A and B are shown apart, each in its own frame.
Chain A
């Protein structure tokens, strides 16, 4: 949002106007990626975004697309273990990377403790933002296993929920932290 509105700031530059592709027949580049533990090889155009690669090439449609300019967090995945906006990454630039999407956090098994906590706390309404929130929560609790509510609020700025179910999401993250600590304690 911010970026659209602030676009007037951008200097007039050596760029094609809308719709005019400066390269008419772009060659495809081979990309190798491990997604949710599975190795994939595909030939894609350089301009192919990771979000589209996941959804249209690998049919992993759990990664949602909201704003396509990095603001909303719906498309958040783990890229080599760190949350990243899949709408701001070119697939070809991630040759050799390891990606985790929402489909990979529990596999075919029972729900991941963070998913279970979201489920119990009613931390989703339409669910569109949920995959992004889950991956943000997994990264955050990996770095801060016992956060207070202020720290949780701060961490959740990574994502937006249009149904504005934030209070339940905060409850869920708090509960998820307890679940993960208990699980860690058992192991």
Chain B
């Protein structure tokens, strides 16, 4: 279990990263926290000819609030987001999901953007970014473009980046006042990958009706999946027990999970429904806590 040889570059700035990507493109891989890339290289599932290590690009490590969004740079570690006061205050959904991403030693090095770029359908952060309707800032030597989560996540472990592009920043909309968010997951063990999960965000109008619902399920499809039928069912109505039960059933129906050694597809679909019911009940019970 040793990686194949590769050529190693350690640029200091985003500009240098982008010019290396322009030069090496499809041959190259970005090395961020290495917590997904290096296992795959150790197992020789991946053998990139060139690694572009972005860990010296200190300018890419930041979390800052601008225009109703929290901008998170490509080098911001998961552990930094987990302990950030800004994240705790402005992005309660992300804060709730953070401790579930691997274990401490993985989060000390793994980056938020690396997890998004990796696009695992069982990743917590892709699911949170989808529910929050995050904006993905993509950079290359040719310029910048911005896409939404549904464009960014193409399928399992596949994102929309061209070979000369990188994810420079993700922009996560700040939680609305009066909104509630819950993150839940079911795993075989208390750590590592889950078998199913849910990021849920519901906003209410002055009359207590649900004005906006965003639910994104982990492990319920080939990529992190918005539960649109459930959202439509919730929006405009009041959250009561009947609606919650209906929402759970709709979620089970909407889920298109797959079987693997960790869980069957039928179990995952069932759990997706249970998680929706549980999340909505928590929102009713928790007062302002789940904001």
Contacts and interface: CB of A to CB of B under 8 A. Distances in A.
Contacts of A140: 104
Interface in A157-184: 157-158
A187 interface: no
Interface of B: 1-8, 10, 26-27, 31, 34-36, 38-49, 51, 53, 55, 79, 102-106, 108-109, 120-122, 155-158, 189-193, 260-262
Interface residues of A, number: 54
Contact of B1 (A17, A26, A69, A154): A69
A76 B39 contact: no
Interface in A85-126: 85, 87-90, 92-93, 95
A22 interface: yes
Interface in A16-30: 16-24, 26, 29
Interface of A: 2-7, 9-11, 13-24, 26, 29, 45-47, 49, 52, 68-71, 73, 76, 79, 82-85, 87-90, 92-93, 95, 136, 139-140, 153-155, 157-158
A7 B7 contact: no
By Cβ-Cβ distance, the 8 closest A-B pairs, closest first, are: A46-B8, A157-B191, A69-B39, A22-B49, A68-B1, A26-B5, A16-B47, A88-B38
A136 B4 contact: no
Given A68-B1, A69-B39, A90 B48 contact: no
B46 A90 contact: no
A93 B10 contact: yes
Given A20-B47, A90-B51, 13 more contacts: A3-B39, A4-B43, A10-B45, A10-B157, A11-B158, A15-B47, A26-B6, A49-B38, A85-B105, A88-B39, A92-B10, A93-B53, A136-B104
Contacts of A85: 35, 105-106, 109
Contacts of B5: 21-24, 26, 45-47
18 contacts: A3-B40, A5-B262, A7-B40, A11-B158, A14-B26, A14-B48, A16-B49, A46-B51, A47-B5, A47-B41, A73-B103, A79-B108, A79-B109, A82-B79, A83-B108, A85-B105, A85-B109, A95-B10
Nearest to A92: B8
Given A3-B40, A22-B49, A70-B35, A84 B105 contact: yes
Contacts of B51: 46, 90
Given A2-B193, A10-B45, A15-B47, A88 B109 contact: yes
